[in-house]
Amino acid sequence: MPAIARSDKSFSPNKGLALVVGLPQANNEGNTSLVFCIEALEQGSVIGPPFSLHNDEGRYIWTNDQIRKEGIERGSVIEFERKGVLGPPKTYYLKNTNEKLDIDSVIPQLQFGGSRLYTGEAHHGIKDAFPTVKISEKSCLYQDAKEGSSPGCALINVSKALLVDGRINFIARLGENCSLRNNCQRVRSSGIDKVHLQVQVPLSEQDVGNCFLLVNFGEKPTTANYSRYWGVCDAMLLKNECGEGCTTERGSKLSAPNIPPIPPQGGHPSHSNLEETEVPECYEMTSCPHGKCVIINNKNFNGHPEYCRFGSEHDEEALGRLFKKLSFTVEIWNDLDAYKMLGVAREIAAQDHRAFDALFFIVMSHGSHGDTIWGVDGISIGIQGLMLPFKPIKCPTLMHKPKVFIMQACRGSYSESNAGPMHDSTLASGTTPQEVDFLLACASAPGYCSTRLKTGSIFIQTLVDVFKEQPHSCDLIEMLTKVNDKVIKRSTKVEEAYSQPSIQVSTVSHTLRSKLYL
């Protein structure tokens, strides 16, 4: 029988790949540049907000000679490492992989909304991205240094844009009129020509269109007396740029080389394989062990004892015993920050699962709106960010095998106390698996609470009870249906006992193609 293995955290989830999206000019002499990137989760996929890359000397301003020596270009895929103890970690360059990605492929992946680590992060406008930034009478962007540190950088969606006299004048999706110095060396106006960017009209509120500007405020105040941070345009993401994207008032078009996408590597599974695969009535569960069960339990949150998830240790112990009995190899991880949670998912997905039949991935933490779960550092991570590494293209050894994700997410608040029930926030507000053979079970439905007691959470403890009773006579969907029925009944009794009428409803969404018996 497989033993419970407590992971030693020997790998480094702070290392990864990133796509270079901009190389703006750093000074008026033109011999230095900045390097802006977006993290690449897998081939052709980007996640998170843009960031500036520091060189091996620890500087964010690169000499152009350094960039040429490393062969870094827009579209290059580089390796990086995050470092930092106090404040946000800084990202340092490790090496160039000499691979390229198509910049156009980034735009459709961008989504509006903050703190989403499973997609590229973008914003409708200035106030959306930079709440403390002001717009001057001349439409410039600034923040007084006395109001805090640099606002940083962000991708802003625009509805109109014009390049003229070394500046870019644009209207953000929120209707803000702005005029910024254009440091983007790839698309510029020359002479007296005015260059109109051919910006597409978005079809809906969530449609990202085809044009984003990377607005950056630098790391230090830029005025003579260092009293203000001023915004500049350091990069431009314009789909079909300089093909059908930019037109001068004289009718000519700017030109620039297109960057071809990376060709797929041999052996990657495709959707065509699914059509050729005969679907059995039940998933095969004959190997011993059946597979891995990964459990992440975030109980203690850095510097915030009020957010401690009391009782979660009982959930962790109960799940460990259950899945050991069900013939799974159990790995338990405690108190991970957001990037380490992603790192665990990537590490497990990169392993060889050919000897296994299934995967269970269980996360217990605080959650928030937008289908996100907290790391112990307070940074939220999207559920999809944990599921993406297990797509067939990234994890081919789990292809055609069930991958089950169970999320017990709670949000600490002033209403929590050790004497009574601790209420968990809604979590499942729309996330569904994007590939076949996935199942996602969440402790709560939109508008409902999820309750945790000193003895553990109602959802996890009920799930353990049902799974122990009928693992072989009922398939997984049937068992989760029974879990929901019992959760509703148990939560009603608990809430009535504390005069807080509220019902907890768990949810299940899946793309399983066969029945799964444990």
By annotation, the residues acting in catalysis are 366, 410
Six-digit token string for 229: 């941070």
Helices (H), 106-219: 126-129
Q: Which of 228, 212, 223, 225 is nearest to 134 (CA)?
A: 228
Q: d(Cα 189, Cα 165) in Å, to the nearest integer? A: 7
Is 349 within 8 Å of 361 (Cβ atoms)?
no
Strand segments (E) across 204-314? 211-216, 228-230, 232-238, 246-248, 291-297
Calculate the dihedral angle through the C-alpha atoms of 279, 280, 285, 286, rounding to the nearest 10 degrees: -110
Element (H, E) at 18: strand 15-22
Burial code of 72-106, b = ≥16 C-beta within 10 A, e = fewer? bebbbbbebebeeeeeebbbbbeebeeebbebbbb
Q: Pairing mode, if any, of strands 450-453 and 328-334?
A: unpaired
Q: Which of 503, 490, 502, 484 is nearest to 406 (CA)?
A: 484
Q: d(Cα 22, Cα 184) in Å, to the nearest integer? A: 7
Looking only at Cα atoms, what is the longest distance across the chain?
78
- DSSP code at position 97: E
| Chain centroid to CA 56 | 26
Six-digit token string for 441: 């079970």
Q: d(Cα 282, Cα 279) in Å, to the nearest integer? A: 8
| Chain centroid to CA 223 | 35
Bridge partners of 45, per DSSP, are 42
Distances (CA, A) of 156 to 107, 204, 219, 234: 12, 16, 19, 12
**Quick check: helix, strand or coil at residue 357?**
coil
Helices (H), 441-475: 458-469
